Amino acid sequence: MKTQRGFTLIEVVMAFALLAVGMGIAMQIAIGAMRQTRNAAEFTEASLYAQSLVDTLGVAERLEPRQESGEFGGRYRWELTVEPYEVQPVASSSGAGTDGMAQAQTMPTVEMLRLELVVSWERGRNTHEARYVTLRAMTPQPL
């Protein structure tokens, strides 16, 4: 009598179980990648809106300390804070004084403003936000 060769029922069931586990893991990886792609796209869009807003500040009017808020495209909300920023004067030594010691001269200070822009948006039940901070030199008063 010849014995038949092939897979047993248990081997077939185990192969399908391993395939199902592998496919489940692959689906979780794909879902995570899609979530990360969506996060990156939202942060990129928020960054582009923020860049365009910051680029226009101080162009048409003198930049002054203030607080403002608004919306970009109906989805992104922004809050802008413009406040004075203290720059520490830099002391440099030049020449010797009457007692032979170097005299410290203070360099002129530059008036700076600190701009902080917070862009936030909703996705599901979560609120996401991106915070941008930069410094700008104050423009001189027009004559």
For the entire predicted model, the pTM comes to: 0.67
pLDDT digits (tens, 9 = 90+) for 42-78: 999 999 999 999 999 888 888 889 999 999 988 999 9
Residues 6+ apart with CB under 8 A from 139: 58, 62, 63
d(CA 143, CA 131): 35
pLDDT digits (tens, 9 = 90+) for 102-138: 555 555 567 889 999 999 999 889 999 999 999 988 7
- pLDDT computed for residue 48 by the predictor: 94
In the three-class reduction of DSSP (H, G, I as helix; E, B as strand; rest coil), residue 103 is classed as: strand
d(CA 64, CA 138): 8
d(CA 79, CA 67): 7
Per the model's pLDDT, the better-predicted residue between 137 and 139 turns out to be 137
